Structures are given as structure tokens and as C-alpha cells.
Amino acid sequence: MFPTLTPPQIERIAAHGRVRPAARGEILIEAGDSAVPFFVVKSGEIEIIRPSSLGDTLVVIHGPGKFTGEINLIQGRRSLTRARVSEPGEVVQLTREQLLSLVQTDAEIGEIVMRAYIYRRVELAAQGVGDVVLIGSVHSPATLRVKEFLTRNGHPFRYIDLDRDPDVQGLLDRFHIAANDIPVLIGRGDVVLRNPANQQIADCLGFNESIDPTHLRDVVVVGAGPAGLAAAVYAASEGLNALVIESDSPGGQAGSSSKIENYLGFPTGISGQELAGRAYAQAEKFGAEILIARGATGLTCQRRPYTVTTDAGQPIPARTVIIASGAQYRKPSLEKLSQFEGAGVYYSATFMESQLCANEDVIVVGGGNSAGQAAVFLAQAARRVYMFVRSGGLAESMSRYLVRRIEETPAIELKTCTEIVALEGTDHLARVRVRDNRTGATSEQEIRHVFLMTGAVPNTVWLAGCVALDGNGFIKTGPDLSKDELDAARWPLSRPPFLLETSLPGVFAVGDVRGGNIKRVASAVGEGSIAVAFVHRVLAE
């Protein structure tokens, strides 16, 4: 987290900025400041403090050779801490733009800075050191949503549970919060948000503050799952001006995976959240901008440059567009399903959910890879995992290693020809009604946690017919587009669509949203990066 730079490294950094004196007591960075500079201590000391209404906390003291900042400096977000000169001396000062140029061009220093920044953010998150306090309850689905949003955006927060924390009453009184207002987010000292939408949280914490959406981009990427993040990394690293629009948090479906074991280069596996966090930092390091909690609501495709409209209202002009909006969980038609979402019914099985069901029985519904992974992962924490499959066995598409793991894990019990037909409970799921499809008989099972892992449908509704889709709503691209489909779409060019290009020139589709795509992280990443090669060709046309 706190490496010491050598004198030659400091000289290289100084060439990108300026060297200046620092006087004792000078505030170099104030908590809450945006557009924060980067400092390297040449001589003297800088103390990093976390200010709070309960008193200031000293985080660390930077001596000679040390440098300030953490990942939000790269992201252009507000500082969580104050930097004050405690011993006078000399510092090297770089603006954020100068720092970005340094980490992109000097591989050695880029690695030292990026690694330290990622570790510092992980440590801040682990210690709950941030500018946000969340008051919630384990019984509230909205609390789980807010926690997930903050966690998946890597934003550190302190969590106080209404049912478990003895100090909570003081906070409730101080901010005039009633118990039924929860979840409540107290941001930057005194902003109180009651049951906020993700977009409100993003605005309050300034996630999108440094981004100008009106500016014409070489490429606008819709969706920050693995495909969109890969497109952003390749586009930005190859000098394109790239903006990503993400309706929720970076990571997409992969972000909700507890452990991805088949992604090349990670022999012991990697959690989807960690993979997404690294890709997000990598995209931003190369200068890609990522709008968080902003959904694309339409594509104006009659003229170029194209325009992507968002739920925040602002139209975003784009020379080319990469659609990477992925797919969404398929939901069974069960009465009371929405009532129990987050309160006993879950669509992902990460560490967070596994904590909720420690030493309890759970049901995982589905016979594909995501269900298999969830079952194996949950079996480590839960007492018993019942795997419900509607058909006579696990899906043929399930990876062999997972089938073996399921067979070899005694805590997993596979129940074929079985499905849930009703959910019951009051505030939280308490039991389910189960049907045996062989006999038609139904029975009741006491259960507090059900994981629905039953596949996905494409996120293409927002395109409103702008590009040709297949019968299941997935986007058709390249050689899959027939002459009739191209004629119907009035394809205007003498060349056929490039691989991954849709029926609109310069608009590409990658990852799970694309018809015929193999639904894997590696293929999403591969397609996202390949599309950028064709973006260059379209821009040159």
C-alpha cells in the first residue's frame, strides 16, 4: 500500500508536473474535494486524516518517497481524506491528467501507483473508512440492494444494523430518522438519503461528477459487464475517446458470481467482483469514462453521429456504439416473488448472501453452470443445499468439473423433476411449496433462502427496433444477418457488416446480448476487445 519511490523514479514523476515547497499546516487536499492533485513527498511529511463529526482519525503519515492518493484520484471522484503538511519540505505535484498520462506511459511507475491505489481502496473498504454511513437491517431487501451497489462500486462505507448495533438509537435521533425510513444513507457528514435509488446514491457521492456527457465520443459503450469493460480498456488504451454507460454497477452478471474458475490466468479462481473491480480500474487508468447508475433508454439511429439517450435525460453523441447490455435473470412466475426478493430470494450467490444463510438449509433452482457454482459455493456455509432441477437431470451444458464437484459434495442434494410453485412467509421467506413433476404431488418445505439461477433474457428492449434481433430478442451481427434483414434495415454500404457489427453501420453488439454468443466471461471479454478493432475501421471509413 505504501511503497517508497526511489530518487530516479521521483525525478521521472517530477518531469510530468512541478516541484514546490510545502509549508507546515498547509492543507494540500481537503476531504470532499474533486479534481484532487497527486503529491510525492521529496522532503518533510504529509499526514492523511479522515475527518468526521466524531473526531479526526489519522490514517497514515507519508514521509520522503511516499505518495498520496487512492483509486478515486484515477476515477476523478471526491477525496475521502484530508492531506495536511505535518513537517515542512518539498513535494512534487501533478494534476489528475498529468498523473493519468504518467501511469499510461511509464509502465514501472504505473504499476507501483495502480497497485498501491487498489490495495489502499481495498483496505479502506475493509475498515469501512469512507464518507458514508449506511443504517439498515438484515431483514430489508432495500438494504441489501444499497449494500450491493456500494460494494460493487468499491465505495467504502460503515454499516450500522438497526437490529444488532447498540449505538444506532443515537444516530437515529441525531438525524431525525424513523426506523421505517431505512435503509438510510448518511453521506459526507450530513446529507441524509432515505431509501435512496442507486442513481441518487451515485449523485450524492459524485460518481459521475467529472464526466461531460454532451461531448462527442469516438465510441459509447452501453453496459459495463465483462464485454463492455473489455471494450473500454481496449478502446481507451488504443487512444479512442470512450464513454461507458452502466445502468447499475460495473461487473454485470459476472460481478455477482462468487467464484469464476474457468477464466484464463486465474488457476485458483477469482470472484466476479474482484475481476470487475480490476477491469474497472484498468479502464479508468487508460482514460475511459464510466457513467454509473445511468441506463441507456434509446438509440437515435436515423442520423450520424448517433445519440444514446439515458434515464438522466442527457443525450450522448457517439461516432460508434458498442452494445454490451448483456442479459437479465429469468424470473419464474411465482406469486409474491417480488415481496421476497432480497428477503429470502436471491439471484446471485456471493460472499454477502452466503453470510445470510450460514448453517441453514438453502434451495438453489436451476441446472446450468451458474446454479452449479452457486450450489458448490453455498455448500461451504449452508447446512444443506437442495438443488432443484425441473428436468430429469443437470443441463448438458454444465461444465464437467462442476458436475463432479456437485456429485462429490455431500451437503448438496440434487432433486430432479422438482420445482417451487409457491413462496410463503411474512417479512421474510419462511417456506416454499414444492411440486414433484413426476407425480404432480405437492409438499411444503421450511426454507428461508432460495437462489434462483435459471438463465437470462437479453437487455434489448431499450433499442426499440433500431437493430435486427433474432427470435429470442438477441442482437444479430456480421454474417448472421441475412440479405433480407440488411435490406429491411436499409444497410447503406457496399461492404457487408463487419464481424460483431449490427444491421446499423458502426453499431456493434458484444457479449451475452449478441445472438449466438457463448455465455462465458472469456467470450464476452474477447468480443468486447475484438469489436474495438472494427471501431477503428469504421472511424477510418
| Contacts to ligand FAD by CB under 6 A | 222-228, 245-248, 252-254, 256-257, 260, 262, 295-296, 324-327, 348, 370, 373, 459, 462, 511-513, 519-522, 524
E-only strand ranges, 67-131? 82-94
Which residues lie across from 132 on neighbouring strands?
Answer: 187
Rounded to the nearest 10 degrees, what angle do helices 369-378 and 400-408 cross at?
Answer: 30
Which residues lie across from 341 on neighbouring strands?
Answer: 345
In whole angstroms, how close is the CB of 501 to ligand FAD at the nearest point?
16
Of residues 175 and 263, the one with the C-beta less far from ligand FAD: 263
Count other C-beta atoms under 10 Å from residue 208's C-beta: 19
Of residues 214 and 443, the one with the C-beta less far from ligand FAD: 214
Of residues 118 and 402, the one with the C-beta less far from ligand FAD: 402
- Are β-strands 507-509 and 316-323 bridged in parallel, bridged antiparallel, or unpaired? parallel
Rounded CA-CA distance 67/130 in Å is 20
In whole angstroms, how close is the CB of 498 to ligand FAD at the nearest point?
18
Q: Which residues of 221-237 are buried (b: 16+ CB within 10 A; e: fewer)?
A: bbbbbbbbbbbbbbbbb
Helix (H, G, I), strand (E, B) or coil at 72: helix
Of residues 388 and 462, the one with the C-beta less far from ligand FAD: 462
Of residues 269 and 425, the one with the C-beta less far from ligand FAD: 269
- Are β-strands 289-291 and 442-446 bridged in parallel, bridged antiparallel, or unpaired? unpaired
In whole angstroms, how close is the CB of 262 to ligand FAD at the nearest point?
5
In whole angstroms, how close is the CB of 375 to ligand FAD at the nearest point?
11
In whole angstroms, how close is the CB of 74 to ligand FAD at the nearest point?
20
In whole angstroms, how close is the CB of 193 to ligand FAD at the nearest point?
21
Q: H helices of 56-193, where?
A: 71-75, 96-105, 107-127, 141-152, 168-174
In whole angstroms, how close is the CB of 521 to ligand FAD at the nearest point?
4
Of residues 17 and 223, the one with the C-beta less far from ligand FAD: 223
In whole angstroms, how close is the CB of 376 to ligand FAD at the nearest point?
11
In whole angstroms, how close is the CB of 527 to ligand FAD at the nearest point?
8
Of residues 458 and 505, the one with the C-beta less far from ligand FAD: 458
Cβ–Cβ under 8 Å, residues 133 and 122: no
Q: Which residues of 103-131 are buried (b: 16+ CB within 10 A; e: fewer)?
A: beebeebbebbbebbbebbbebbeeebbb
In whole angstroms, how close is the CB of 392 to ligand FAD at the nearest point?
23
Q: Provide φ and ψ at 499, rounded to 5°.
A: -55, 135
Element (H, E) at 47: strand 38-50
In whole angstroms, how close is the CB of 371 to ligand FAD at the nearest point?
8
Of residues 428 and 519, the one with the C-beta less far from ligand FAD: 519
Of residues 146 and 260, the one with the C-beta less far from ligand FAD: 260
Contacts of 408 (CB under 8 A, 6+ apart): none
Cell numbers 494534476 correspond to what residue?
95
C-alpha cell at 225: 459487464
Rounded CA-CA distance 272/260 in Å is 6
Of residues 86 and 253, the one with the C-beta less far from ligand FAD: 253
Rounded CA-CA distance 460/187 in Å is 34
> HSE of 532 in the Cβ direction (CA atoms, 13 Å)?
22
E-only strand ranges, 72-208? 82-94, 132-136, 158-161, 184-187, 191-194
Cβ–Cβ under 8 Å, residues 338 and 427: no
Of residues 153 and 348, the one with the C-beta less far from ligand FAD: 348
What would you report as the CA-atom Rg of the chain, rounded to the nearest whole angstrom? 25
- Are β-strands 306-310 and 429-436 bridged in parallel, bridged antiparallel, or unpaired? unpaired
